[in-house]
Structure 1
Amino acid sequence: MATTPRKQREVRQRELHLLDVARTMLIAQGYAGLSMDRLAEATEYSKGTIYQHFSTKEDLVMALASQSMEQRLSLFERAASFRGRPRERLLGIGIADELFARLYPHAFRSELIIKMANLEERASPERTDKLRTCESECTSLLRNFIKEAIAIGDLAPTVSVPQVMFALLTLVLGTHTVVANFRPLLTETQVTDPYSSLRESIQVLLDGFGWKPLSTEWDYAETYRRIAQEVFADECQSAGPGSH
């Protein structure tokens, strides 16, 4: 018998609920503290019902990672639609990433836990492929902006695309890691708004690569304001002060 649309919605809602509870458990208790038994107890669903959605604990955790990555990718794709120079559109990706961190503060922390657990070899190929596809689409947007900048002369043809990508990704991921796990460092370095500092650091980095227009030649604060208002007005309002 075919599954009815109503039944499909119920199954999907149940899976989303399981993921929400599992994410909370993962953040509070770590990977070792998350189990199918504890999830069943917390949600009052049987283990059999949970296994209908996730074949193993690894599948469950990989589903959490994919869910976060899909949310981030959706924001990135909207940012990429902004009409502007490649460096401006790259700034849009940065705004999207910042909004994701502000709106889903536990997402990066849970992703870090998942990465440290090295689950890819133990999860199903379907879950692993889905996550890798989302990750690839996110990095492809960044790579395309860099290539476009070289093509139109905003970056010198001698600039290495992988080097620019690596520099940007390590700067962004490093900031997220400090915010998620090493907050005392913010106090020691007297950084009150890490994401504002990240935006400034990215501008310094891109100036160092000679990515035109340089920050001395262009009002990127105005670009930031336009992207926030034209692309992410609702998200900026939800994220609160510091996001627009």
Structure 2
Amino acid sequence: MSPRTISETEFHAREQELLNVARSLVENECLTSLTIDKLVAASPYSKGTIYKHFISKEDMWMAICNMCVTEIHELFSRALSFKGSSRERVLAVFVSYLIWAKLHPAQLFAVLSAHSPSVASLCSDDRNTTHHQLESDLMGLMNQVIAEAIEAGDLVLPEGMCFEQITFAMWSASWGAMALIMSKGHSCELNQMVLERESFTNAKLILDGFQWKPMSQDWNYNESIKRIANELFQPEIEALEKAGNPFIFV
């Protein structure tokens, strides 16, 4: 008897199911310990079936990364719908990224791992193409709000700089704070750090450094953060509360 042929919709649904199982394994362990054999053991599917979806463990890692970036894109898009100044909307992006990281702490590092050339070289062309498109889409969202800020007179692009450099500065400041604090281990110095406070301090330093108006001394951004969280991300805030990892307003 020949094997049953499944539809494209069924195939996609099965891949999503496998990715959900894989992501739960990442949260319990880490990305680099996740193998095809572990996914076989944790799912109802054979190794042959799983290899129809992922050509290697690295391809599976990239698929997890792409799923994460898709979620982050949705949160960023929601953040940029905030009714406020361009700087408040950028701050909403910081809020959304922090919320996602608190909901998926181990996967924050999984996204970075996918940037490794050794991972990309063992992935399918389609998976790599999807990854590049997703990252380009994220960059496009940020470039859009930067362009709007310049047009509104809230921001003057520093001489010799491009939009991508501003986006990179914001991304590295946000990711760096989260990565260092969330992986602090037994560091006495980092144990004194509060994730939300340090993340928003970095945001203030970066945005004030670019002279992005209104400047922090001219606006109560703590109140903006509360509005952003309550108006846009209430389901995620409640999920964090339920998980015992509440969002801390500072």
Same fold (TM over 0.5): yes
Post-superposition Cα deviations, 1:168-220, rounded to whole Å, max 9, x if no partner, equal 122112113213433444x3145342222111221122112211101111121
State which drifts further: 169-178 or 86-95.
169-178
Aligned to 1:242: 247
Name the CA distance, whole Å, in 2 between partners of 1:21 and 1:86: 38
Q: Is the 8 A contact 2:102 2:240 kept in 1?
A: yes
Question: Residue 114 of structure 2: SS of its match in structure 1?
Answer: helix
Q: Is the 8 A contact 2:98 2:178 kept in 1?
A: no
**Please, what is the CA RMSD of the aligned residues?**
2.5
Aligned to 1:203: 204
Query: Residue type matched to 1:228 in 2?
Result: A
Report the alpha carbon displacement of residue 149 of structure 1 after superposing the two structures with TM: 1.5
Query: Residue type matched to 1:100 in 2?
Result: W
Structure 2-normalised TM-score?
0.84
Post-superposition Cα deviations, 1:74-125, rounded to whole Å, max 9, x if no partner, equal 1111111112211010011111101101111221122233334731122111
**TM-aligned CA distance change 1:29 to 1:74, over 3 Å:** closer
For structure 1, which runs of at least 5 residues remain unmatched after alignment?
none
State which drifts further: 41-50 or 230-239.
41-50
Name the CA distance, whole Å, in 2 between partners of 1:237 and 1:24: 20
Post-superposition Cα deviations, 1:114-163, rounded to whole Å, max 9, x if no partner, equal 33473112211111111111111112222222222122211124353344
Query: Residue type matched to 2:135 in 1?
Result: E
Query: Residue type matched to 1:51 in 2?
Result: Y
Query: Residue type matched to 2:204 in 1?
Result: Q
Q: Is the 8 A contact 1:72 1:97 kept in 2?
A: yes
Q: Is the 8 A contact 1:142 1:165 kept in 2?
A: yes
Structure 1-normalised TM-score?
0.86
Aligned to 1:166: 168
Aligned to 2:80: 80
Q: Is the 8 A contact 1:23 1:110 kept in 2?
A: no
Q: Is the 8 A contact 1:26 1:34 kept in 2?
A: yes
Is 2:189 the counterpart of 1:188? Answer: yes
Q: Is the 8 A contact 1:191 1:197 kept in 2?
A: no
Aligned to 1:223: 224
Q: Percent identity?
A: 31
Aligned to 1:62: 62
Q: Is the 8 A contact 2:99 2:236 kept in 1?
A: yes
State which drifts further: 161-170 or 229-238.
161-170
Aligned to 2:156: 156
Aligned to 1:20: 20
Query: Residue type matched to 1:107 in 2?
Result: Q
Name the CA distance, whole Å, in 1 between partners of 2:42 and 2:209: 51
**TM-aligned CA distance change 1:51 to 1:223, over 3 Å:** same
Q: Is the 8 A contact 2:62 2:114 kept in 1?
A: yes
Count residues with an aligned counterpart: 239
**TM-aligned CA distance change 1:13 to 1:132, over 3 Å:** same
